[in-house]
Amino acid sequence: MTDLPFAPNPMRRALLTGTGAAVTIAAVGPWRTAFAQGAAARPLPAFAAFKDAGTMIVHSANTIEMRRGPAGNGSLTTVNQLYVRNNLAPPSADIVAKPDDWTVKIEGVRRPKSLSVRELKTMGTESVTMVLQCSGNGRGMFPSKPSGTPWQTGAAGCIMWTGVPVRHVVAALGGINPGMKFLTGTGGEVLPAGISPKSRVERSVPAAVYEDALLAWEINGQPIPLAHGGPLRLIVPGFTGVNSIKYVKQVAFTAAESDSSIQQTDYRMTPTGEASQRPTDPSVWQMPPKSWINTPLAGATDLRAGEEVVVRGVAFAGVNAVKQVDVSIDGGQTWQRAALVGPDLGRFAWRQFELPVRLAAGKYVLASRVTDVRGNVQTENRVENKGGYLNSSWRDHAVSISVA
């Protein structure tokens, strides 16, 4: 088994000893060597030095994804294999040295207040497991080549977050002010001099989402490292990653959406061909149903006629629980029901699926398709859009294999 969701994380040791030393983990499995022959790997940036380099693709210092492969099949994603996406360079690592001292301003409630993590920890703790997925995951599969990181499947992970429910904080501060339509979270990055305040990482989601939202200080049972938004992160389950604000400095209930560029003119479902993304285009918020196969992979060389191959992958549907996953071995002409395996970690988490098959020699196109409890089905085709967001096409995620 390569899936060790609760494996001790080197970051914890680094935090405890204060060394910050990166720990090298031996590469295992043929899928690593296959990728190792690609272009020279870029080094991990210092703030993410604890990542398992053999599993990650470093697009840039602020865009690091997990390779498609067996590590992606875990019920939870290990922190040292979780993707990283920063819109701005992260703040100084000093902010995670004394996490309990970090403060967050709560606005748009009857009694606005600044609260420390220490205080938040006295207000009632819950855990939520959810898929954290970048809005642009799968952008690399758009033939239109939208600008932005060409992520494949690896800008996603399933993570258990622990913190205080936002609804507890709201109740303690007297409730939400009338007329507030959005929940707006602001990141704690310090903007370089001369940069417009509109470049701040600030996102608004419909206010009702606060019922599910969390102010989290733990990721998979350990303090959140800087790379993933420690000391405190706003967690918006079922929504794309950009809505879960790292090193959150302010949570405000607001009448209008943020005027930040990341809200107004980015992360919008703008038709291709338009000159720019417009505030009137639909915002990238909830995640549509999506699944993909992580084993076997395209180009696998170990598939033998008549031997059992277990097709494995993950499936999720934003705010809705997974009902079923179907797998095709003929490019979507016929489908077979896969088994849902592993733990059910709630409606925001992914489900692992498996289908054992025996194949005669030949070529096959493997695909997976999820259906959620509300009857929403993963779509065959991507929704074309200028930013390359929300690619959940089962056809784009299909895997071509040869059996010898």
Ligand X SMILES: Nc1nc2c(c(=O)[nH]1)N[C@H]1C(S)=C(S)[C@@H](COP(=O)(O)O)O[C@H]1N2
Cis ω for the linkage preceding 91 (within 30 of 0): no
For Mo ion, which stretch binds (CB under 5 A), given 21-29, 103-111, 131-139, 143-151?
131-139
For ligand X, which stretch binds (CB under 6 A), given 7-15, 69-77, 110-118, 244-252?
244-252
Nearer residue to ligand X within complex by CB, 134 or 399: 134
Nearer residue to Mo ion within complex by CB, 99 or 148: 148
Give the footprint of Mo ion on residues 226-245 (CB under 5 A): 241-242
Helix boundaries (H) for 85-205: 117-120, 166-172
> CA-to-CA distance for 83 and 21, rounded, in angstroms?
20
Give the footprint of Mo ion on residues 57-116 (CB under 5 A): 85
In this structure, what token pair is assigned to residue 94? 């000093």
Q: How far is the CB of 133 from Mo ion (least distance, A)?
A: 8
Nearer residue to ligand X within complex by CB, 70 or 187: 187
Per CB under 6 A, does 83 bind ligand X? yes
Instruction: Report residue 87: phi and psi, to 5°.
Output: -80, -30
> CA-to-CA distance for 178 and 109, rounded, in angstroms?
9
> CA-to-CA distance for 246 and 232, rounded, in angstroms?
7
Residue 390, C-beta contacts closer than 8 angstroms, at least 6 positions apart = 135, 138, 240, 269, 284, 287, 288, 382, 383
Nearer residue to Mo ion within complex by CB, 242 or 355: 242
Q: How far is the CB of 195 from ligand X (least distance, A)?
A: 14
> CA-to-CA distance for 19 and 14, rounded, in angstroms?
5
- Which partner from the list Mo ion, ligand X, none does 187 bind, CB cut-off 5 to 8 Å by kind? ligand X
Q: How far is the CB of 65 from Mo ion (least distance, A)?
A: 11
Per CB under 6 A, does 77 bind ligand X? no
> CA-to-CA distance for 335 and 117, rounded, in angstroms?
49
Q: Which of 177, 254, 173, 245 is nearest to 214 (CA)?
A: 245
Q: How far is the CB of 198 from ligand X (least distance, A)?
A: 14
- Total residues at interface with ligand X (CB under 6 A): 20
Q: How far is the CB of 225 from ligand X (least distance, A)?
A: 9
Q: Which of 129, 244, 264, 392 binds ligand X (CB under 6 A)?
A: 244
Q: Which of 174, 161, 188 is nearest to 251 (CA)?
A: 188
Q: Which of 228, 268, 347, 386 binds ligand X (CB under 6 A)?
A: 228
Binding track over 168-187 against ligand X, x by CB under 6 A: -------------------x
Per CB under 6 A, does 95 bind ligand X? no
Q: Which of 22, 57, 132, 232 binds ligand X (CB under 6 A)?
A: 132
Q: How far is the CB of 246 from ligand X (least distance, A)?
A: 4
Tokens 């999820």 belong to residue: 370
CA 51 to chain centre: 16
Phi-psi region of 46 (alpha: psi -120 to 50; beta: other; left: phi over 0): alpha
Binding track over 247-276 against ligand X, x by CB under 6 A: x-----------------------------
Nearer residue to ligand X within complex by CB, 84 or 293: 84
Cα dist from 17 to 12, 26, 221, 339, 397, whole Å: 9, 22, 18, 43, 42
> CA-to-CA distance for 174 and 132, rounded, in angstroms?
30
Helix boundaries (H) for 285-350: none
Q: Which of 67, 64, 11 is nearest to 295 (CA)?
A: 67
Q: Which of 246, 290, 369, 397 binds ligand X (CB under 6 A)?
A: 246
> CA-to-CA distance for 111 and 170, rounded, in angstroms?
9
- Which partner from the list Mo ion, ligand X, none does 372 bind, CB cut-off 5 to 8 Å by kind? none
Q: How far is the CB of 290 from Mo ion (least distance, A)?
A: 15
Q: Which of 48, 115, 134, 398 binds Mo ion (CB under 5 A)?
A: 134
Nearer residue to Mo ion within complex by CB, 9 or 240: 240
Q: How far is the CB of 341 from ligand X (least distance, A)?
A: 25
Q: Which residues make up the interface to ligand X (CB under 6 A)?
A: 82-88, 132, 134, 187, 189, 201, 228-229, 241-242, 244-247
Write out the residues near Mo ion by the rule CB under 5 A: 85, 134-135, 241-242
